[in-house]
Amino acid sequence: MITDYYKNIANHVISTRRERLTSGFRAAGRPDHTGADFTDADRLELRQDIYILAFADGVADRAGLGSAASGLGYYIDIRHESGGASYLTRYCHLRGAPVFKAGQAVGRGDVLGIMGKTGNSTGIHLHFGLKEDSVSWDTGVWVDPEPYLFGAKAMGGAALPPAGAIAVGDSVRLTPSAAVYATGQSIPAWVKAGTYTVMQVKADRVLLKEIISWVFERDVTRNGK
Ligand SMILES: [Zn+2]
């Protein structure tokens, strides 16, 4: 679990700015887990409703109560077409029937229902799944939705970073000449001595996971170089 994970979420699928990842895509010990589970970092859901939000514009595909065997509980699948590519997003364990019915248009950020624990769920959370190459509900490949949530990937195929560019997941070090964070404060020596994981890349800067700080891309090099 990553502390302050929510700070780096670009696209919210629950109505809080404090998403907490409780179980990732194919997490250790859960090879069949084809999505990511989120709840609220402050467990606010115990005191107030948390809404489930559509990730992108699309059309409701299947919506309702899944079979007991499926474990989905109340769920909704939304199909998305973008840049000639087809996607499906899935939202499970809603407290009650989803707001949209199959065939209805859904807009990004629309409320789909209330976060709950129906189906195969031990606590209130959202299971969010994302399929690529999904031309119908039963086709496509479940992929890790986190890069989409962080903005590292976008539906419709955002341009891939050029070869050699720093990418999410890279292990990097700061160069000796690195002087300031992207926010302007000077970088202390002990920070320069560390090794970091790139969590997000945006324009000319990268977010380093271990210190949750943005630095300029020109000031980092991949480990081993
Ligand atoms: Zn799940």
Rounded to the nearest angstrom, the distance between the alpha carbon of 14 and the centre of ligand 1 is 14
Rounded to the nearest angstrom, the distance between the alpha carbon of 144 and the centre of ligand 1 is 12
Rounded to the nearest angstrom, the distance between the alpha carbon of 190 and the centre of ligand 1 is 38
Query: What is the per-residue pLDDT for 86?
Result: 94
Region 185-197: mean pLDDT is 91
- For the stretch 25-36, pLDDT in tens is 998 889 999 999
CA–CA distance, 42 with 20 (Å, rounded to integer): 9
Rounded to the nearest angstrom, the distance between the alpha carbon of 64 and the centre of ligand 1 is 17
Query: What is the per-residue pLDDT for 2?
Result: 38
Q: How confident is the model at residue 125 (pLDDT cuts 50, 70, 90)?
A: very high
Query: What is the per-residue pLDDT for 5?
Result: 58
Rounded to the nearest angstrom, the distance between the alpha carbon of 212 and the centre of ligand 1 is 26
Rounded to the nearest angstrom, the distance between the alpha carbon of 24 and the centre of ligand 1 is 8
Rounded to the nearest angstrom, the distance between the alpha carbon of 36 and the centre of ligand 1 is 5
Rounded to the nearest angstrom, the distance between the alpha carbon of 91 and the centre of ligand 1 is 9
**Largest pairwise CA distance in the chain:** 59
H or E element that contains 197 = strand 195-202
Residue 15 has pLDDT above 60, yes or no: yes
Mean pLDDT of all residues belonging to the chain: 87
For 34-174, list the strands marked E by DSSP.
36-40, 51-53, 58-65, 74-82, 85-94, 105-106, 111-114, 126-132, 141-143, 171-174
Residue 6 has pLDDT above 70, yes or no: no
Query: What is the per-residue pLDDT for 218?
Result: 87
Rounded to the nearest angstrom, the distance between the alpha carbon of 128 and the centre of ligand 1 is 7
Q: Flag whether the pTM goes above 0.85.
A: no
Q: How confident is the model at residue 60 (pLDDT cuts 50, 70, 90)?
A: very high
Query: What is the per-residue pLDDT for 224?
Result: 64
Domain spanning 5-150, CATH class? mainly beta
Rounded to the nearest angstrom, the distance between the alpha carbon of 33 and the centre of ligand 1 is 6
Query: What is the per-residue pLDDT for 46?
Result: 56
